[in-house]
Structure 1
Amino acid sequence: MKKILEISLGIVTSVGGFLEIGSLATAAQAGSAFGLQLIWAIALGTICIIFLVEMAGRFAAVSGHTISDGIRERFGFNFFLLPFLSTLLLNLMVLAAETGGAAIALELATGIAFQWWALAVAFLAWLLLWKGTFGFIEKCVTILGLVTLCFVVAAVLLEPDLKAVAAGALPSIPQHDHASYWFMVVSILGASISPYLFLFYSSGAVEDKWDETYLGTNRAIAGLGMSFGGTISIAVLIVAALVLAPNGVDQITDYHQLSTMLVPVFGRWGYWLFVASLGIACFGAILELGLQQAYLAAQGLGWNWGEDRKPSEDPGFSAAYTLALLLAAIPIVFGFDPLNLTILSMALTAATLPLTVIPFLFLMNDERYVGKHGNGTISNSAVVLIIMLGSILAIVTIPLELLGGI
Structure 2
Amino acid sequence: MKKLLQISLGIVTSVGGFIETGQIATSSQAGAAYGFSLLWPIVIGTVCLIFLIEMSGRFAIASRHTVADGMRERFGANYFLVTLSIISIVNLLVLASEIGGIALALQFVSGVGFQWWALPVALTVWLLLWKGTFGMIEDGVALMGLVAVCFVVGVFVMDPPWLEVAKGLVPMLPDKEPLHYGFIAVSILGAVIAPFLFLFYSSGAIEEKWDKSFLGANRVIATVGMSFGAVIAASILIVAALVFPPRGITDIEGYDQIAPILTPALGKWGFYLFAATLGISCFGAALEASLGQAYLVAQGFGWNWSEDAKPQTDPAFSLVYTGFIGIAVLPIAIGVDPLQLTIFSMAITALALPFGVIPFLFLMNDRNFVGKHRNGWISNTAVLVIIGLSFIVALITLPLQIFGG
TM-score of the pair, normalised by structure 1? 0.98
Q: Deviations over 1:71-123 (max 9, x none)?
A: 10111111211111111111001000001011111111111110111111000
Please state if 1:174 is matched with 2:179. no
Q: Deviations over 1:138-176 (max 9, x none)?
A: 111011001000000001111111111111111111111
Please state if 1:4 is matched with 2:8. no
Residue 110 of structure 1 corresponds to 110
Q: 2: distance between equivalents of 1:103 and 1:166?
A: 35
Cα–Cα, structure 1 residues 84 and 105, in superposed 2: closer, same or farther, change >3 Å? same
- The farther-off stretch of 295-304 and 11-20 is 11-20
2:32–2:245 CA contact under 8 A, matched in 1: yes
Deviation at 1:52, TM superposition (A): 0.4
Q: 2: distance between equivalents of 1:273 and 1:16?
A: 16
Deviation at 1:8, TM superposition (A): 0.3
Please state if 1:241 is matched with 2:241. yes
Matches within 5 A, 1:2-401: 2-401=2-401
User: Residue type matched to 1:198 in 2?
Assistant: F
Deviation at 1:387, TM superposition (A): 3.5
Q: Deviations over 1:178-218 (max 9, x none)?
A: 11111111111111010000010000000001111110000
2:182–2:400 CA contact under 8 A, matched in 1: no
Q: 2: distance between equivalents of 1:231 and 1:315?
A: 39
1:60–1:202 CA contact under 8 A, matched in 2: yes
Q: 2: distance between equivalents of 1:29 and 1:379?
A: 33
Partner SS state of residue 347, structure 1 = helix
Gaps of 5+ in 1: none
Q: Deviations over 1:212-240 (max 9, x none)?
A: 11100000000111100000000000000
Q: 2: distance between equivalents of 1:263 and 1:293?
A: 37
Deviation at 1:14, TM superposition (A): 2.5
1:15–1:149 CA contact under 8 A, matched in 2: no
Q: 2: distance between equivalents of 1:49 and 1:174?
A: 26
Deviation at 1:401, TM superposition (A): 3.2
User: Residue type matched to 1:313 in 2?
Assistant: T
Q: 1: distance between equivalents of 2:213 and 2:346?
A: 35
Deviation at 1:17, TM superposition (A): 2.7
Partner SS state of residue 76, structure 1 = helix
1:102–1:278 CA contact under 8 A, matched in 2: yes
Q: 2: distance between equivalents of 1:328 and 1:303?
A: 23
Count of residue pairs brought into register by the alignment: 405
Q: 2: distance between equivalents of 1:401 and 1:74?
A: 34
Cα–Cα, structure 1 residues 156 and 133, in superposed 2: closer, same or farther, change >3 Å? same
Partner SS state of residue 160, structure 2 = coil
Q: Deviations over 1:269-298 (max 9, x none)?
A: 000000000000000101111111111111
Q: 2: distance between equivalents of 1:400 and 1:128?
A: 38
Q: 2: distance between equivalents of 1:286 and 1:299?
A: 20
Partner SS state of residue 102, structure 1 = helix
Q: 2: distance between equivalents of 1:394 and 1:178?
A: 18
Q: 2: distance between equivalents of 1:131 and 1:90?
A: 26
Q: 1: distance between equivalents of 2:4 and 2:351?
A: 37
1:59–1:66 CA contact under 8 A, matched in 2: yes
Partner SS state of residue 261, structure 1 = helix
Q: 1: distance between equivalents of 2:342 and 2:395?
A: 18
User: Residue type matched to 1:211 in 2?
Assistant: D
Q: CA RMSD, aligned part only?
A: 1.1
Q: Deviations over 1:242-288 (max 9, x none)?
A: 00121111011101101110001111100000000000000010111
Deviation at 1:403, TM superposition (A): 4.0
Deviation at 1:397, TM superposition (A): 4.5
Q: 2: distance between equivalents of 1:283 and 1:27?
A: 19
1:186–1:390 CA contact under 8 A, matched in 2: no
User: Residue type matched to 1:357 in 2?
Assistant: V
Partner SS state of residue 244, structure 2 = helix
2:99–2:283 CA contact under 8 A, matched in 1: yes
Cα–Cα, structure 1 residues 273 and 361, in superposed 2: closer, same or farther, change >3 Å? same
Q: 1: distance between equivalents of 2:16 and 2:295?
A: 21
Cα–Cα, structure 1 residues 355 and 394, in superposed 2: closer, same or farther, change >3 Å? closer
- The farther-off stretch of 299-308 and 342-351 is 342-351
1:17–1:145 CA contact under 8 A, matched in 2: no
Q: 2: distance between equivalents of 1:73 and 1:400?
A: 36
1:95–1:290 CA contact under 8 A, matched in 2: yes
User: Residue type matched to 2:396 in 1?
Assistant: V
User: Residue type matched to 2:288 in 1?
Assistant: E
Query: What percent of counterpart residues are identical?
Result: 57
